[in-house]
Amino acid sequence: MACDDVIESLFYKQRGLYFALLSGFLFASQGLGANLLSAENISPWFMCFMYNVLNAFAIPWINWREAEQFTGKETILLFAAGLFDIGNFAFALMAYSYTTLGNASAILLSKPLWCALCAAVFLGESFSILDAILIALDLLGVVLVSRPPFIFGSEVNESTATNFLGSVCALLGAFSGGGQFVTIRSLTVRKSFDRYLLFLVKCTIGFPFFAVMVCVHHTGYETMRTVDQWSYLALASFSGIAASLFTYMALESRDAKTVSLLATVQVIVAYLLQSFIVQSKVDLLTIVGAILITVSPVAYIIKSVMIERCTSTNMNSPEI
């Protein structure tokens, strides 16, 4: 019996942590696929379109009876989560296409801060001085990684402009991801969240938009021809869907900040993939910026653990 309790404590009760960590690995794999496709000059809009079509896989698993009981506010939250999720994915793919895999992942790692900001604005959660300090450090890290020419005084050429555009897309993706986490967590608290229904909402919203963007922005890109290109697309699409699924499962048992900060594993995996597979160099300034961005998730996990311990101590302390 004691062994069963240990197993339950280590695995079942902590399943949200494992799902969040696994999603981080999968998001890094998604970025690798998108980065390799970009090197083949494949349109990022085509990647988004194919990923969005694959979201329809979730239809057989939707619990339609529970879906019919959604209130107006819950329906709005569900569509908001879908919009944020689509924005997160689209901006992330753009970032992976325009800047390096590691740099995009590092900036996307700022998601926990935007999650805290969105929670303060839309859910009325507290926003402390610590949150403000971490946002300042995070933005400094983003500046060091993106290195905008108007701040660093570097010559504006095609390479620096493309890298800066990718960094801006990554920042917008991080903000969208923060909004996505907050809306999903709000639905789970209301016990009105169906992860497969959200996949359908994403497919419904994204299909017409990405179809139009593929038609409008088709010039200047190559068509899918080789087996390698299709394998890169499969890696990006299926990794993205699996990462989203594990993220939703993690959010069902863990708060949004904890889930988003555990994705710090993504930036470590991304830089390793960048160095060994993409074979792109990582300079010292980029590493410093990535470390500054990583400070916020680490700070949030420490804060979360301390609060959990204090709560547990207060509950277990005998009444006087």
Phi, psi of 319 (to 5 degrees): -75, 145
Q: 3-state class of 88 per DSSP?
A: helix
More confidently predicted of 43 and 6: 43
Question: Given pLDDT bands bounded at 50, 70 and 90, which one contains residue 93?
Answer: confident
How much is the pLDDT for 230?
A: 93
Q: Identify the helix (H) or strand (E) that includes residue 136.
A: helix 129-146
**With bands split at pLDDT 50, 70 and 90, how would you rate the model's confidence at 83?**
very high
Rounded percentage of the chain residues whose pLDDT exceeds 90? 3
pLDDT of residue 315: 58
> SS3 for 71?
coil
What is the CB neighbour count within 10 angstroms for residue 149? 15
Q: Please give the Cα distance from 26 to 31 (Å, whole number).
A: 9
Token pair, residue 309, equals 């311990």
Q: What is the CB-side half-sphere exposure of residue 77 using CA atoms within 13 A?
A: 23
| Residue range 127-134: mean pLDDT, rounded | 75
Residue 7 pLDDT exceeds 60: no
The Cβ-side half-sphere exposure at 288, using a 13 Å CA radius, reads: 7
Residue 3 tokens, joined: 């062994």
| pLDDT confidence tier of residue 96, bands split at 50, 70 and 90 | confident
Q: At 20, list the tokens.
A: 């969040």
SS3 320: coil
Nearest-angstrom CA–CA distance, 307 and 173:
29
Least confident of 51-55, 290-294, 304-308: 304-308
Residue 222 three-state SS? strand
pLDDT digits (tens, 9 = 90+) for 239-254: 888 888 888 888 777 6
pLDDT at 69 over 70: no
Reported residue count of the chain is 320
The mean per-residue pLDDT over the stretch 227-231 comes to 92
18 exposed, middle or buried (CB, 10 Å; 0-12, 13-18, 19+)? Answer: middle
pLDDT (tens digit per residue) in 177-217: 888 888 887 888 787 788 888 888 888 888 888 999 888 87
d(CA 237, CA 31): 10
Rounded average pLDDT over 49-70: 78
User: According to the model, what pLDDT value does residue 278 have?
Assistant: 59
Residue with tokens 């016990």: 191
Q: Rounded to an integer, what is the distance from CA 146 to the centroid of its chain?
A: 18
Per-residue pLDDT at 312: 61
Average pLDDT for 218-242: 88
Q: What is the mean pLDDT of residues 5-11?
A: 51
Tokens representing 257?
């900040």
> Could you tell me the pLDDT band of residue 256, with boundaries at 50, 70 and 90?
low
User: Looking at the predicted structure, is the pLDDT value of residue 291 above 70?
Assistant: yes
Mean pLDDT throughout 161-183? 83
Residue 314 or residue 156, greater confidence = 314
- The DSSP result for 261-308, as a single string, is HGGGHHHHHHHHHHHHTS-----HHHHHHHHHHHHHHHHHHHHHHHHH
DSSP string over 173-192:
HHHHHHHHHHHHHHHHHTT-
Q: Two tokens at 31?
A: 């970025």
Show me where the domains of the chain are located. 16-314
Mean pLDDT score across all residues of the chain: 76
Predicted local confidence at residue 178, as pLDDT = 83
pLDDT at 297: 64
More confident position, 157 or 23: 23
Q: Coil, strand, or helix at residue 42? A: strand
Contact predicate 248/2, CB 8 Å: no
Average pLDDT (28-40) is 84
Tell me the C-alpha distance between 82 and 248, whole Å: 12
| Residue that wins the pLDDT comparison between 63 and 36 | 36
Confidence band for 1, pLDDT divided at 50, 70 and 90? very low
Q: How many CB atoms lie within 10 A of CB 275?
A: 14
State the Cα–Cα distance between residues 156 and 173, nearest whole angstrom. 24
